[in-house]
Amino acid sequence: MGVLNVTPDSFSDGGRYVALDAAVTHGAELLAQGASIIDVGGESTRPRAEAVPVDEETRRVVPVIRGILDAVPDARCSIDTTKAAVAAAALDAGAVIVNDISAGTFDANLLAAVADHDAGYVAMHMQGTPATMQDDPHYDDVVREVGDFLVARLDAARAAGVRDDALFADPGIGFGKTIEHNLALLAALASLVERLDVPVLVGASRKSFLGSLTGAAPVTDREAQTLATTVWAFECGARVVRVHEVAPSVRAARLLHTIATATPEGAAA
């Protein structure tokens, strides 16, 4: 999943793809690099980000989704939103997945909008809201609590009519979590994958804990760390990684597959 933020203020690429043609070109580039999904977002989710009104968020994302589909008709776009009205407009414009960092807890109508459009759905865990989530995150057992939350929210999505084979779950790296919480979730990722009976998505790309754990690397210098999380996530059984730089993760995933499926003589299958 390639990240396409059409926001003035996202933490690593804010402002770069606000112009429609720049956004569409970048989306097409990510697809050419091998992305299976382009995740279009019109509201920054960085810590302490301000909420964006529905009309403004819709105005940012819908033309970009249309533009990507005009340029690459078989592209698969997801819409990164927590709002039912934005999700519905994006799905009407041709997006096929809703990527919801609130797992249906911010807007009571969101899951029904997903079900009405027969769309895919990513339920992500977050403690608090983007405005408050990094103030003082606390868990007794982060792996168990994130797992419990995701199980409950996947059930809520099914109850709202979202198709079982359209669901993904995401532990929400960096969303209401300390460095230790992020590490614990990544360390236990294989057990989360086993517990959740839907494909797991991991979004660690360029996040601040990667900088903190590797000598205060700035956001512009976290690609190697991001790639390590891609390899780790796939080795733990995750099925999707959400990344800003698609080409390295695609190459790594293809090589992992080649290694895992090589014959006993060492030939590629």
Active site residues: 207, 242
Q: Which is nearer to ligand PMM, 113 or 207 (CB)?
A: 207
Q: Which is nearer to ligand PMM, 93 or 238 (CB)?
A: 238
Which residues, at least 6 apart from 148, have a Cβ–Cβ distance to it below 8 Å?
none
- As measured in angstroms, the least distance from the Cβ of 21 to ligand PMM is 21
- As measured in angstroms, the least distance from the Cβ of 74 to ligand PMM is 22
Sign for the pseudo-dihedral over CA of 10, 11, 15, 20: negative
Q: Which is nearer to ligand PMM, 12 or 191 (CB)?
A: 12
Q: Which is nearer to ligand PMM, 101 or 154 (CB)?
A: 101
- As measured in angstroms, the least distance from the Cβ of 104 to ligand PMM is 13
Q: Which is nearer to ligand PMM, 99 or 129 (CB)?
A: 99
Q: Which two tokens stand for residue 127?
A: 């403690």
- As measured in angstroms, the least distance from the Cβ of 267 to ligand PMM is 37
Q: Which is nearer to ligand PMM, 49 or 84 (CB)?
A: 49
The contact set with ligand PMM (CB under 6 A) reads 3, 5, 10-12, 41, 45-46, 80, 99, 101, 122, 124, 170, 172-173, 201, 203, 242
- As measured in angstroms, the least distance from the Cβ of 8 to ligand PMM is 12
Minimal CB distance residue for ligand PMM: 203
- As measured in angstroms, the least distance from the Cβ of 218 to ligand PMM is 15
Angle at alpha carbon of residue 125, lines to 123 and 128, rounded to 5°: 130
Q: Name the nearest CA neighbour of 240 among 64, 44, 34, 68.
A: 34
